Structure 1
Amino acid sequence: MNSQEQQTLTALKQSLMQSNHQHVIAQSKQFLNAKPSEDATREAMYVMAVAYRLAGEIKSAISTLLHLVEIFPDYGRGFQELGYCYLRENAHSEAANAFYQATRFNPALVAAWQQLEAVYKRDNQPQALALAQQHISFLQSLPKPLLGAHDLMHEGQLHKAEQVCRQFLAKNKHHPEAMMLLAELGVQLKVYHDAEFLLESCVALYPDNDKAQAAYQGLLAKLGKFPQAAKVARARLAQQPESFSIKVSLAHALVGVGELEEAIGIYHRLLADKQDRPALWVALGHALKAKGDVKEAIASYEKAAMFAPDFGDAYWSLANTKTYRFDDNALTAMQQQEALETTKLDDRIHLCFALGKGFEDAKQPDKAFEYYNKGNDLKKRTHRFDIARTEVALEAQASACDAELMSEFSGCDAPDPIFIVGLPRAGSTLLEQILASHSMVDGTMELHDILGIASSLSNQKKAYPFNLADLSDEACIALGEKYMAQTQAYRQSAPFFIDKMPNNFVHIGLIKRILPNAKIIDARRDPMDCCFSGFKQLFGEGQEFSYSLDDIGRYYCAYEKLMNHWHSVLPDHILTVQHEDVLDDLEGQVQRILDFCGLPFEPACLSFYETKRVIKTPSSEQVRQPIYKTGMQQWKPFESYLDELKLALTKRSNMS
């Protein structure tokens, strides 16, 4: 939002406070006609709706708000205002749902919680009432600046929230709630190193604060530091041996480490106590799928859907096995569920992607694309992703890591890591499975450690990646050794191991600075196949570029441009493996990959589908069967809808 927009909105709010309702409505319309920025649009529509309500024009207010939450489906304050409008219309059920949505998207809205408290008292819902009252009590206990910072954060004003929080901490050093809030803001701003330091400090200062322990454990899991997360969970469980939530979090960390039997045992024991726990059935399904027990995983996902017919994650998890098929009755029921106003946003998104896959399998590409597009559109609106900023960031890598810098290697000389990089859905899981079938290579998972090291370098006087040139030999060695130590927990006893984090392609300069002997394999796939496959995939986290055809096309071009740079400054250090070549000539490409890694040929690499190991990516079932080509050109039936993607990819052909 620029300064002119901010001034206009400030004037509108002042007029609203002076009860100049019609003036506010007219000026808001004029402002919106000028097509302001997204943030300014959201605020102006909200102000206009409030003016309509205060002027007694309730139907106009509701119409404005419904349009507002359609454009910004996670705008908590918009739902709260909608609740007030429905109350004026005596539409109590609609009001209750609006207030509930408000608290889901902005848990800091005390007034919305108080409205729900009245609803739960009236409808005699003791469990929901207790939770609402607990939340109200917590919010009212917060110092006003922190409550305001919570509100700003949930409305997406992260930098303002951070400023308020830091000002409060300057006067109230080591306040635990402020430290936890600042850490949460750090996570949302992707300053993970700072967030981890804050929570680690908070836990050290307040060892009895389980909320801080839980936040720290959650961040460790988010960063892929599952061994540490499991350690924290076990310590918490020793203090609270009957805690349901801690047991669940321990099981989640154990799945991350790959200790599936213990995790599955925890899930089974908790479900034996009470079957009606749909989220737990899905978590169990994920663990079983990672283990390779797909039949049992599907049964778990179906149980989740049985207990909660509106639980979108259950349906998407079924679709995401890539082998499950919904029948016509299931598709109809899912469509009805997705269309309900009471279905939560997250569930709607999951249902849309599941319906897209269901209709694609049913050979109905028009219907399939309708739901894929709807799911992507809803998901994109919940992010503040800017492809232009990402393009600049990738160009910065090329600028900082020039040929001169990349000609000098001085890091940890361990040859153990084999990095497989690229874009999601480009065939990297297949390459990982081939290599992990070799007796001298451990398969691990998508490790977050390089991303974490990059994050730790981001908060320096000189910005990353430009500070890579300033790293001393000793610093490079120390960072390489840190990576080796952190990843040890995911290895068995083989001399080499795989790190299959696709996004590491961004950080190849960092990798070669700190691990000069690491092997790097770039998994490449036909751009239309790769991009459309990414567009169809609802990722658990990250990959924000994948929820728009234009974004994903531009991202592919930026990726390819950066990879071309890495090849030019690191000749012979990176092996590009084209997915289509692997499908056409498996033995030849396997030999090529093994030669690059300095490994002797082993027949097990050709029968990779027989290798039993933990796989947690969407392609897990696809790489547990022999090579097949049905994944090629899956975009063709959707071609009439993909002009935006084709246009974005024209930049690629212009570069070559």
Structure 2
Amino acid sequence: MQNTQANPTATLQTVKQAISQGQLTTAQDKLDTLLADNTLVTGLKAECLYMRAVTHRLSKNYQAGLDDIASLIALRPDHGRAFQEQAYIYKAQGDDKAAASAFYQATRFNPALLASWQQLLLIYQQQGNQQAAVLAEQHIAFLQSLPKPILGAHDLMHDGQLAAADGVCRRYLQQHKHDAEAMVLLAEIDMKLKAYHEAEFLLESCVEIYPQHDRAAAAYLSLLARLGKYPQAEAFSRKRREQHPNDVAVMVAHASALVGIGRLDDAVKIYLELLEANSDRPAVWLALGHARKAKGDRDDAITAYETAIELMPEFGDAYWSLANTKTYKFSAGLIAQMEAQVDREELKLDDMVHICFALGKAHEDKKNIEKSFTYYKKGNALKHSTTQFDIARTEAAMNAQKEACPASLFASKSGCLDPAPIFIVGLPRAGSTLLEQILASHSQVDGTMELHDILTIASRISGQKTPYPFNLTSLSDDQCEQLGQLYIEQTRAYRQGAPYFIDKMPNNFIHIGLIKRILPNAKIIDARRHPFDCCFSGYKQLFGDGQEFSYGLEEIGRYYRAYVDLMDHWQSVLPGEVLAVQHEVLLEDLEGQVKRLLDFCGLPFEEACLAFHQTQRVIKTPSSEQVRQPIYKTGMGQWKPFESHLTPLFDALKQYP
């Protein structure tokens, strides 16, 4: 049925007016009409369901209200106001226990919901839960201390209305230029909008103006880690430790930054010091496991993850970290424990997602294919529902790269002529870590990690009058050289002094035009894998950050096609400048492909590259354990047992078994 309303957004405004005037039947009729339109976009549908639930509660039609809330939570499991409305209905029905649980969920997904915090405080006081009451009082005091526009912007941001929240913040800062809370909030919104350069500028300014502002400092450290700027994060967190020597959060942040720059022993020392003082710290055990895994101490990493689970049986990230070693096999007891956790209504959404992915892996290892796919599908659906990913926007961005980067753009070699960088690009789970390990085994090549510097430079130049990538043509030779030199300087901290170094950031395939403009002598290697294996492996992977395209079979198939199309473009406008290495061919002919790889990079053959699994180095990607083994082929064809479930992927790829 087509929506008869010309403008659903305008209709929603009239609905809000009707509710405020007590015209509940009128509001419900309009909402019924809007919701009858099955083409309504997710955001508007969620808003309609929420408002209809409100009208049902006000009309004392509680079950209808709960039904709408159930539909809304299925659509948006992280909708804080949905849980708040659910709590009000339970409270009206006299179900205080269910109301308490729903108010708690509301504050988890939207910490700006003051009314829910106030309700929780009353509940904690009635229960005599003094510790929880103190925490609630502190949060209420913080929210009440915020200027009303900033509190409103917090609410909008957590509700997913990023553009509206951004506008409120900017208007407030125009009148209150250096308000710390507004600066921190706007930076958080910018991070969600992936405007990282602006977020970094805001937080850098904020910590300079307000050096004692703990929330600004924590946000700044978090952003530096997200951007892979670990040297800056290490220096800043070290300074914070000098000022707050016994602050656990500051110590953990410093240890995390040390892991980022490869000083694993120093990081482990901090984690062990914290655990010696108090062993009941599951998050620290998890971080210790990550550090030990990166170092190659698999057994110690597993022990750390298992300890975290013993201390916190609902700790989803710890289960997933075990699964993410790729070699760990779950016991029947642990599988039963995970399944029991998934059935708990009060389990946090983030824990639910992690455990679903872990259960997918656990059942796949045991050949329980139907159960395995059920959990993979549920984990992906939940994760997808919390993102605002639009594959059409991504496809448009890749088409823009083709349009903005014709062959003429690369006619002259302007930029920084340093030949040191070797970029490995492609899709995640395509074998890029294996190529990195092979090259890092060469005496003239430094392995680093997934560096964010090209993405940061792209963000840095995207704020100009002509949007990126169309402004690549207007960059002067001097600008190109400066940007290339900036990249070389920023990445120096990750190198050990070899003539060449690897930058393995798969998503850099989108930015090859930028790379070749500012670093014309850089080598670029495209890690390519069979689409079925590559896409299904990505679908099974819960990524730490980004890669939102991987949480839907159709999305990941369309993304793969767009990637191949863009790589074909780079091959046509940069002939001979990009080497494609097919993963399956590498597995069949290791020596031949290694020699081809080294020839392309201008490197002499070294036997160590064939014995790559013996190379000791820090590896932080999901494939860390796999590349510490000799070549094996068990990863090929892992999609086949799941074939009957993968039709949306095949349709999107336009390829079939």
Please give the TM-score of this superposition, normalised by the length of structure 2. 0.98
DSSP-derived class of the 1:404 partner: helix
- Letter in structure 2 aligned against 1:33: A
Aligned to 1:127: 131
- State whether residues 109 and 158 of structure 2, in contact with CA within 8 Å, keep that contact through their aligned partners in structure 1: yes
In 2, Cα distance between equivalents of 1:245 and 1:203? 17
DSSP-derived class of the 1:153 partner: helix
1:540 is the counterpart of 2:544: yes
Aligned to 1:58: 62
> How many angstroms does 1:462 deviate by?
0.2
Q: Matches of residues 486-505 of structure 1 in structure 2 within 5 Å?
A: 486-505=490-509
1:601 is the counterpart of 2:605: yes
In 1, Cα distance between equivalents of 2:129 and 2:438? 54
In 1, Cα distance between equivalents of 2:95 and 2:413? 69
- Letter in structure 1 aligned against 2:324: N
Aligned to 2:44: 40
- State whether residues 210 and 236 of structure 1, in contact with CA within 8 Å, keep that contact through their aligned partners in structure 2: no
- State whether residues 169 and 175 of structure 1, in contact with CA within 8 Å, keep that contact through their aligned partners in structure 2: yes
> How many angstroms does 1:105 deviate by?
0.8
Aligned to 1:192: 196
Aligned to 1:306: 310
DSSP-derived class of the 1:499 partner: strand
> How many angstroms does 1:28 deviate by?
1.6
Q: Matches of residues 22-41 of structure 1 in structure 2 within 5 Å?
A: 22-35=25-38, 36-41=40-45
> How many angstroms does 1:124 deviate by?
2.1
1:153 is the counterpart of 2:149: no
> How many angstroms does 1:29 deviate by?
2.0
Among candidates 270, 292, 297, match of residue 301 of structure 2: 297
> How many angstroms does 1:651 deviate by?
7.5
> How many angstroms does 1:204 deviate by?
1.9
> How many angstroms does 1:97 deviate by?
1.2
> How many angstroms does 1:531 deviate by?
0.2
In 2, Cα distance between equivalents of 1:420 and 1:303? 36
In 2, Cα distance between equivalents of 1:272 and 1:312? 24
Aligned to 1:564: 568
In 2, Cα distance between equivalents of 1:7 and 1:181? 28
> How many angstroms does 1:122 deviate by?
1.7
Distance 1:3 1:99, change over 3 A: farther
In 2, Cα distance between equivalents of 1:136 and 1:601? 64
> How many angstroms does 1:502 deviate by?
0.2
> How many angstroms does 1:506 deviate by?
0.3
Aligned to 1:19: 22
> How many angstroms does 1:26 deviate by?
3.1
> How many angstroms does 1:106 deviate by?
0.7
Among candidates 115, 118, 129, match of residue 119 of structure 2: 115
1:420 is the counterpart of 2:438: no
Aligned to 2:651: 647
Aligned to 2:483: 479
In 1, Cα distance between equivalents of 2:241 and 2:138? 23
> How many angstroms does 1:3 deviate by?
7.6
Which stretches in structure 2 are left out of the alignment for 5+ residues? none
DSSP-derived class of the 2:132 partner: helix
In 1, Cα distance between equivalents of 2:320 and 2:10? 44
- Letter in structure 1 aligned against 2:467: A
Distance 1:235 1:652, change over 3 A: farther
In 2, Cα distance between equivalents of 1:218 and 1:28? 41
- State whether residues 447 and 501 of structure 1, in contact with CA within 8 Å, keep that contact through their aligned partners in structure 2: yes
Aligned to 2:281: 277
> How many angstroms does 1:200 deviate by?
1.1
In 2, Cα distance between equivalents of 1:69 and 1:210? 33
1:98 is the counterpart of 2:107: no
1:257 is the counterpart of 2:261: yes
Q: Deviations over 1:95-130 (max 9, x none)?
A: 111111111111110001111111221222222222
1:589 is the counterpart of 2:593: yes
1:241 is the counterpart of 2:245: yes
Among candidates 434, 440, 463, match of residue 438 of structure 2: 434
Q: Deviations over 1:207-255 (max 9, x none)?
A: 2323222221211111100110111101111111110100011111111
> How many angstroms does 1:140 deviate by?
0.4
Q: Deviations over 1:480-505 (max 9, x none)?
A: 00000000110101111000000000
Distance 1:3 1:428, change over 3 A: farther
> How many angstroms does 1:92 deviate by?
1.6
Aligned to 1:218: 222
> How many angstroms does 1:20 deviate by?
2.1
In 1, Cα distance between equivalents of 2:118 and 2:620? 41
Aligned to 2:532: 528
- State whether residues 11 and 30 of structure 2, in contact with CA within 8 Å, keep that contact through their aligned partners in structure 1: no
Q: Could you tell which deviates more after superposition, 62-71 or 446-455?
A: 62-71
In 2, Cα distance between equivalents of 1:651 and 1:20? 54
In 2, Cα distance between equivalents of 1:18 and 1:601? 79
- State whether residues 90 and 99 of structure 2, in contact with CA within 8 Å, keep that contact through their aligned partners in structure 1: yes
In 1, Cα distance between equivalents of 2:313 and 2:182? 38
In 2, Cα distance between equivalents of 1:254 and 1:430? 24
In 2, Cα distance between equivalents of 1:370 and 1:211? 39
Runs of 4+, deviation exceeding 4 Å: none
- State whether residues 400 and 465 of structure 1, in contact with CA within 8 Å, keep that contact through their aligned partners in structure 2: yes
> How many angstroms does 1:93 deviate by?
1.7
- State whether residues 650 and 656 of structure 2, in contact with CA within 8 Å, keep that contact through their aligned partners in structure 1: no
- Letter in structure 2 aligned against 1:444: T
Q: Could you tell which deviates more after superposition, 528-537 or 643-652?
A: 643-652
In 2, Cα distance between equivalents of 1:209 and 1:364? 51
> How many angstroms does 1:609 deviate by?
0.3
In 1, Cα distance between equivalents of 2:372 and 2:301? 25
In 2, Cα distance between equivalents of 1:99 and 1:87? 10
DSSP-derived class of the 1:542 partner: coil
Among candidates 547, 555, 558, match of residue 559 of structure 2: 555
Q: Deviations over 1:598-654 (max 9, x none)?
A: 00111000000000000000000000000000000100000000010001111799x
Q: Deviations over 1:471-528 (max 9, x none)?
A: 1111000000000000011010111100000000000000000001100000000000
Among candidates 2, 7, 23, match of residue 10 of structure 2: 7
DSSP-derived class of the 2:149 partner: helix
In 2, Cα distance between equivalents of 1:294 and 1:568? 43
In 2, Cα distance between equivalents of 1:167 and 1:26? 36
Q: Deviations over 1:331-364 (max 9, x none)?
A: 1221111111010100000010000000000001
State, as a whole percentage, how many aligned pairs show the same letter. 60
Aligned to 1:623: 627
In 2, Cα distance between equivalents of 1:574 and 1:341? 50
Q: Matches of residues 153-192 of structure 1 in structure 2 within 5 Å?
A: 153-192=157-196
Q: Deviations over 1:246-301 (max 9, x none)?
A: 00111111111111001111111111111111111111111000000010100111
- State whether residues 252 and 263 of structure 1, in contact with CA within 8 Å, keep that contact through their aligned partners in structure 2: yes
DSSP-derived class of the 2:527 partner: strand
- Letter in structure 2 aligned against 1:629: K
- Letter in structure 1 aligned against 2:164: K
In 2, Cα distance between equivalents of 1:457 and 1:481? 15
- State whether residues 557 and 651 of structure 1, in contact with CA within 8 Å, keep that contact through their aligned partners in structure 2: no
